[in-house]
Chain A
Amino acid sequence: QKEVEQNSGPLSVPEGAIASLNCTYSDRGSQSFFWYRQYSGKSPELIMSIYSNGDKEDGRFTAQLNKASQYVSLLIRDSQPSDSATYLCAVPNRRNEKLTFGTGTRLTIIP
């Protein structure tokens, strides 16, 4: 089982709709979780971090964490064409504390 798994997509969502991105992780003891957005040809940009079970909202973005199910998700409300990017889920490996990234989900917002 991979340490961090994401559906690679592509995920196509109409403009104005909610985009839902999912991530599962293998280390039950993981305590911190990060979402990055990466535009083509650019470096990853941190958009959300979450440490506790439940929801964390920041503008149009909501991160949801369920440690019992080892599942973290990112919701993007009122999706805009500028949200089209690859979204990377990252979880630190507790053994060596290195940040382990999923393969990313490519999101396309259709105008």
Chain B
Amino acid sequence: KAGVTQTPRYLIKTRGQQVTLSCSPISGHRSVSWYQQTPGQGLQFLFEYFSETQRNKGNFPGRFSGRQFSNSRSEMNVSTLELGDSALYLCASSGLAGEFGEQYFGPGTRLTVT
């Protein structure tokens, strides 16, 4: 079974620009979660989507948004980029929503904001 895929793998953007990241979950998985990983803050939860609905949201500003499509693919958008948004953005898919679902991570998108 193919794993979680994320595109693009690397991205360099300028402050003030916006960016869209894409995630395709494992086939059959309907839950997609997004995380930000930085050396200082570690892994932090952004949001979770299940069946096209946002189930949970972490403590990030409204510049961070996402959506999920009917085929479970998900996109994450960051508007008005700031230098502090430089991070590894990880997508994880799960066959179950909620606390018992095992989450499998994609390779991540490394975003650099200059």
Contact = CB atoms under 8 A, between A and B. Distances in A.
A69 interface: no
A34 B43 contact: no
Interface stretch (A16-24, A42-50, A52-60, A75-83): A42-50
B56 A97 contact: yes
Contact of A98 (B58, B90, B100, B102): B58
Interface string A92-111: 10101111111110000000
Interface residues of B, number: 22
Query: DSSP majority for the B interface?
Result: strand
B111 to A, nearest CB: 14
A79 to B, nearest CB: 24
Interface of B: 33, 42-43, 45, 48, 55-56, 58, 88, 90, 92, 97-100, 102-108
